[in-house]
Amino acid sequence: MKVLVTGAAGFIGYHVSRRLSESKRCEVLGIDNLNDYYSVDLKQARLKQLESFDAFRFLRLDFSDAKAVLAIFEHFKPDYVVHLGAQAGVRYSLENPAAYVQSNITGFLNMLEAARMHRPRHMVFASSSSVYGAGAKVPFSEDQITDQPVSFYGATKKSNELMAYSYSHLHKLSLTGLRFFTVYGPWGRPDMAPILFSKAISEGKPLRLFNEGKNLRDFTYIDDIVDGILKVLLYPAADTPVPPYRVFNIGHHRPVETRLFVEMLETLLGKKAKIELLPPQPGDMFETCASLERIQAAVGFEPKVPLEEGLRRFVEWFKEYYRLS
């Protein structure tokens, strides 16, 4: 089968592309615009890992270019689409909201239009736990009202869900949105907590903890996330009820306080952190915790990697990649 993966040079996109390419049952086309939101060298290093797979091909392409997206669908004719490309980051959306409109709104519309015209069997797209905003109750469940996101990034992801629902309703497209909670693991993004914290600890630099380190996060290991994505991808919604549209949480359901997360990294890195306790950051959520009942019932998703083991694997990679003794 042919699978198109957007954001293939990104953290989750790389791991999904690798797992599909390893299966030897897929022809995988990865696209990414390789923007400089964070280190392009890291993105290139991920792609270099994928070069060894005969089943994987890569094209540098920006899916906010409607003509380019249509050309990809016309020539590759994907059976399945995993749309993970996006402008990510809650805090950066305070600084550059236009980037989020171009990628997350215009780019997503281009993907939907291409899917409408060329009709893959199923398209899974990345939403986010950031859609849960003011008034959300823990654990977050998919039937909660999500019309008050507290970040612009979250607002664009909620918009994606609404856009997808309307396209599914109007054009009978099989579409599934996945609300990712905090994902970590090898090859992770350098703007996210695990690498930010690990670098600060390793380099003896101040480690800034917003909300005095009391925020609770539902950390989910990357292998569990990939398992969930692929299970959902291969089991699209049934034709009835109409529309064939779904949205699922995908997380771990065991939130951990940020301060404890840092302490675990200190132990694995063998070095104490120089912590700065700061007030809450605008746009941040104090606690995230995924209800997994819906995705468990649909595809049997069950996270398997405990935080202790996942962080051990992450730190091994971190030391090797960043050349720490």
Secondary structure (3-state) at 293: helix
How many Cβ atoms from other residues are within 10 Å of residue 242's Cβ?
11
Q: Which of 153, 167, 184, 245 does the annotation list as catalytic?
A: 153
Return the structure tokens found at 318: 């971190």
Query: Is 153 a residue of the active site?
Result: yes
In the block, tokens 């994505």 appear at 229
- Of 283, 292, 301, residue with least CA distance to 132: 283
- Give the span between the Cα atoms of 90 and 24, in whole angstroms: 36
Per the CB < 8 A criterion, the answer to whether 284 and 210 are in contact is: yes
Per the CB < 8 A criterion, the answer to whether 249 and 229 are in contact is: no
CA angle 45, 50, 56 (to 5 degrees): 145
- Strands 122-128 and 175-180, bridge-based pairing: parallel
Q: Which residues are catalytic?
A: 153
